[in-house]
Chains A and B, each alone.
Chain A
Amino acid sequence: GNSVTQMEGPVTLSEEAFLTINCTYTATGYPSLFWYVQYPGEGLQLLLKATKADDKGSNKGFEATYRKETTSFHLEKGSVQVSDSAVYFCALSDQGNTPLVFGKGTRLSVIA
């Protein structure tokens, strides 16, 4: 079956540091890939997505590129802020209107 593996946390960074959160997936076919973010006490919000190989999703300074050859979708940000502190989930979907398969989540803490 489909699965998503993302790096274990927690990750603690200083403000303005570079962020990478690794995500790899296993899927039959060509899934869509997502990063969701969960701020403390809130639900999940879509951060970015990519639907085909070599697509780059981006939002709020975050980026991730769909790499079919390495089955990866790593999340990056060049300069993190304290407000980026949250839990980040990598996920995939086979096709429209089907459930998401999530990774375990990575907790990011950014300190001033």
Chain B
Amino acid sequence: DAGVIQSPRHEVTEMGQEVTLRCKPISGHNSLFWYRQTMMRGLELLIYFNNNVPIDDSGMPEDRFSAKMPNASFSTLKIQPSEPRDSAVYFCASSLTGSDTQYFGPGTRLTVL
């Protein structure tokens, strides 16, 4: 079975550019989570969805960040405009209804120059 799929795996961009990260959850999973990993702050939640509906976006750093889940098999995290401090690894994870076990994608390593 395919796991959580993220693309791109690596992204290098210049400050001010728009960045879009993509995630395909495991088929049948109804919860999707976006996390960010940095050396300074560790792993922190950005936003999560249940049944395609955003439940908690309090972890989104600021208005430059937005996330969507137009259907059960796809989600995007967009940063516009990007800044060097956004450089991090962004992980997507999904879980089944009622389950507390999350399955993580391989992550997208973002570098903003």
Residues of A at the B interface (CB closer than 8 Å) are 32, 34, 36, 42-46, 49, 51, 89, 93, 95-100, 102-105
Residues of B at the A interface (CB closer than 8 Å) are 4, 30-31, 33, 42-45, 48, 50, 56, 91, 93, 95, 97-107
Partner of B91, one of A44, A46, A93, A95: A44
Task: Note all chain A residues with C-beta closer than 8 A to B91.
Answer: 43-44
A89 CA to B91 CA, complexed, in Å = 14
Given A43-B91, A43-B107, A97-B50, residue A103 in contact with residue B99 (CB < 8 A): no
- A45 and B104 contact, CB distance less than 8 A: yes
A43-B4, A102-B44 given; name 10 further pairs at CB < 8 Å.
Answer: A32-B100, A44-B104, A46-B102, A46-B103, A96-B95, A97-B31, A97-B95, A100-B33, A105-B42, A105-B43
Task: Note all chain B residues with C-beta closer than 8 A to A100.
Answer: 33, 45, 93, 102
- A96 and B48 contact, CB distance less than 8 A: no
Partner of B104, one of A43, A96, A99: A43
The 10 A-B pairs at the shortest CB distance, nearest first, are namely: A102-B43, A43-B104, A97-B31, A44-B104, A96-B98, A93-B100, A99-B45, A43-B106, A32-B100, A104-B42
- B99 and A96 contact, CB distance less than 8 A: yes
- Label chain A's interface by main secondary structure: loop
A89 CA to B107 CA, complexed, in Å = 16
A49 CA to B95 CA, complexed, in Å = 15
A70 CA to B97 CA, complexed, in Å = 30
Task: Note all chain A residues with C-beta closer than 8 A to B45.
Answer: 99-100
Minimum CB–CB distance for A55 against chain B, Å: 13
Given A43-B106, A49-B101, A97-B50, residue A89 in contact with residue B33 (CB < 8 A): no
- B105 and A43 contact, CB distance less than 8 A: yes
Minimum CB–CB distance for B37 against chain A, Å: 9
